[in-house]
Amino acid sequence: MKNITVVLIAGYSDLFKGKYEDALKKIEKYPLDVILFELVGINFRLRSALSLHVDYSVKSQVSFLRHWLGEDRYVSDLFKRLDHFSATSNGRQPVIFNRAGCLYGIDYCYRNLKSSDEKFEYTRDFWIDLIEFCLACNDVVTQYDTKDEGSKINLLEHINAQQAILNELKIVSNPILAFNRYIDLIRYIEGDAYYKNELSSYLTSLNLPAKTFIETIINIYINKDQNKKLPFLIWLNPKESPDAFKLVTWLSSHTLLTK
């Protein structure tokens, strides 16, 4: 059996003793597409489409920092802060980059950033802001265990959005069985007297029956236009896959988490 490493998610407030809200705000001056590209890339490298486990190893964490900033003094200072944080936490391995933080970060960007067609130049300041944004997202994720009962988001979306973040930290799923689980989950909900109406309402808003919804999800991930060099990007032809393209567009324009 593979050994399980217990990791400790490091937040901006843990390492820099500042307000994590300030680090979140810094990212808002950058184009939406640029930040999404980096967050999705981090998420994929932590666990690719066919991987069973998330790679939270020290080597993996360091590789992100070295790739972006090399031997920059900021990285050296960050290592010292992480070492101190670990020493005050019973020596557990701290992590900056994690899938739960990426999930929140992606949603935050959709709510607060705008796209731009202008050419973007990557700078040292950008990479530092991105790292500290990831740390700030961790501050939010580690306390994200309450629900806003006054939200206008419907019940099913609340369950999906608010629990997905926490589940990313707890559940290891076999990607080969993912589609079967989609099908089993929908069948289970359809048979539940309380939740079936919520499911029906949700799918109606997408204009997709349950069977077509599953087929569309599969089509999103398995399509001939998938980019081989950037496997974490989904490429869909709107003419060949209209339902899948419509669903991705709809999902990209909606945010499910509360501010």
Domain that holds residue 225: 155-252
2 falls within a domain: no
For 153, the 3-state DSSP assignment is coil
Phi, psi of 193 (to 5 degrees): -60, -30
Q: What is the pLDDT of residue 138?
A: 92
Q: What is the pLDDT of residue 51?
A: 73
Q: Tokens representing 177? A: 């069985």
Mean pLDDT over 143-170 rounds to 50
Mean pLDDT over 19-47 rounds to 92
- Chain-wide mean pLDDT for the chain? 79
**Same domain assignment for residues 91 and 22:** yes
Boundary of a domain, candidates 84, 115, 141: 141
pTM of the full structure:
0.70
pLDDT band at 160 (very low <50, low <70, confident <90, very high): very low
Q: Number of folded domains in the chain?
A: 2
**Same domain assignment for residues 105 and 180:** no
**Same domain assignment for residues 50 and 120:** yes
Is pLDDT larger for residue 147 or for residue 211?
211
The per-type count for the chain, helices as H runs and strands as E runs, is: 12, 2
Q: Going along the chain, which residue ranges are E strands?
A: 7-9, 93-95
Residues sharing a CB contact under 8 Å with residue 6, sequence separation 6 or more, in sequence order: 92, 93
151 vs 157: CA distance, rounded Å:
11
Tens of pLDDT, residues 124-134? 999 999 999 99
Q: What is the pLDDT of residue 54?
A: 83
Q: What is the pLDDT of residue 121?
A: 95
111 vs 90: CA distance, rounded Å:
37
Q: Tokens representing 148? A: 């806003």
**Same domain assignment for residues 118 and 192:** no
pLDDT band at 170 (very low <50, low <70, confident <90, very high): low
